[in-house]
Amino acid sequence: MVSRGTTQQSSAPYNRRIVLDVIRRQGRISRREIVELVSLSPQTVANITNDLQTIGLIVARRLKGARSRGQPPIAFELNPNAGNSIGISLERREVDIDTHDQRRVLEAVMRLIRDLRRRPAAAERLWGIGVALPGPLVKTDISFIGPTTLEGWSDLSVLDELRDTSRLQVFYSVDSVAAALGETLFGVARALDNFFYMHFGVGLGGTLVVNRSAYRGANGNATEIGHIPAVPGGKPCYCGNAGCLERYLSVQSLAEALGVSEAPDRDALIVAELERNTHAALQGWCLEAAARLRDAVCVIENMLDPLTIVIGGSAPKLLVERLVALAEPLHHSVRGGVASPGTRILLSEREEDSSILGAAVLPIYDLLSPRFEVLQQDRRAEADVAGLLGQRGTRRAGRL
């Protein structure tokens, strides 16, 4: 399925992303074929492809052997030498660091960036750094509270320091939004225009994707399904409410049930218990969590009617598979009887890698945002373009 473009002026960034995505998915495609697929005017497609060529994201090649009265037709494909970007997710645990301390987080991230830039495969051009973070990321009643968020942080000023220290542009997003983007571009949702992404990790988040774009809400916080009260009078939650969904359905909740929430090798201990499957606390937790998952699926389907619900995140796949199996049969909903059997829930093939991949794409998505209009007006030299798009600059870290 290919998304359609729109002629509304405010949708110019959307059209650019659609054209770039069509070229990526087709591998090689002519301008006429792009016009037919996305329903934009030939002139609009020509402008977009010219701009994408100007900044080096795509290249044009003559189609050898094609029949034509004049020159062989031109086809576009992604430029394999367009450059790299760096994706960072602060939920993952490959680096042993106390995320309560912003200074140590910055130092650890800079060590990783320096290592990546020293590698032989590193491209000369780096578009920027994308960072996926557990939300909410703006000041709310439930921001930076509890072990499923960036507990102990008061703001995201460390990202400005990361930009200044690395001398690269920095873009950030809620982890579930980044992961939904990763699934859209590289995962099980590659062929889907509309779906709901459930980010099952230390906490629980979710993102509605409509026309291959994430719905973010009034302040970018339309991701916190984990803080929907689901059990009246239930477990106290870090947010100040009680019975919230993620107090029953999250890796943190399972770790607490198994008594390993403070263990440095928590994830390994959880996987070991899952494989043994003899711990009474584990079995009881799974039954309760599956019931909450069944409820969550019903609420999401009845409110949003997504084509499917994709479940990904840092939770072990063995755990997710077990919970989905225990949640069957699902509650009756508007998807029941409409969706094909086995398609109401899809499991990510990339799991936690989706947020890393999505984070790495954030600099390119910002590149295709309204700020890109400057290029259409001003066709400046490539060196100036590189500066505009993140090779240098001092603006504040951008949010997507």
- Token match 């973010």: residue? 216
Structure tokens at 353: 């890698």
Q: Domain 9-78 belongs to what topology?
A: Arc Repressor Mutant, subunit A (1.10.10)
Please report which confidence band the pLDDT of residue 373 belongs to, taking 50, 70 and 90 as the band edges.
very low
Per the prediction, the chain carries an average pLDDT of 83
Task: Flag whether pLDDT at 126 surpasses 90.
Answer: no
pLDDT at residue 205, as a whole number? 95
pLDDT, tens digit (0-9, with 9 covering 90-100), for 52-71: 999 889 999 887 665 555 56
Distances (CA, A) of 283 to 26, 166, 258, 273, 277: 46, 46, 10, 10, 7
Are domains 9-78 and 190-352 of this chain identical in fold? no
Q: What percent of the chain has pLDDT over 90?
A: 50
Please report which confidence band the pLDDT of residue 380 belongs to, taking 50, 70 and 90 as the band edges.
very low
Architecture of domain 190-352: 2-Layer Sandwich (3.30)
| Overall average pLDDT of the 242-260 stretch | 97
pLDDT, tens digit (0-9, with 9 covering 90-100), for 287-329: 999 999 999 999 999 999 999 999 999 999 999 999 999 999 9
Q: Where are the domains of the chain?
A: 9-78, 84-176+354-399, 190-352
Helices marked H in 167-265? 175-186, 251-258
Which residues, in sequence order, are CB contacts of 121 under 8 Å at separation 6+? none
| Overall average pLDDT of the 247-255 stretch | 97
| Percentages of the chain per state (helix, strand, coil), in multiples of 5 | 45, 15, 40
CA gap 90, 369 in Å, rounded: 25
Task: Flag whether pLDDT at 343 surpasses 50.
Answer: yes
Cβ atoms of 219 and 188 within 8 Å: the answer is: no
Give the residue, 129 or 111, on which the prediction is more confident.
129
Whether pTM > 0.85 for this model: the answer is no
Distances (CA, A) of 327 to 222, 330, 351, 359: 25, 6, 19, 31
Task: Flag whether pLDDT at 384 surpasses 60.
Answer: no
- Token match 């755990």: residue? 319
Closest CA to 47 of 93, 94, 15, 10: 15
pLDDT at residue 382, as a whole number? 38
pLDDT at residue 223, as a whole number? 93
Task: Flag whether pLDDT at 395 surpasses 80.
Answer: no
Cβ atoms of 138 and 223 within 8 Å: the answer is: no
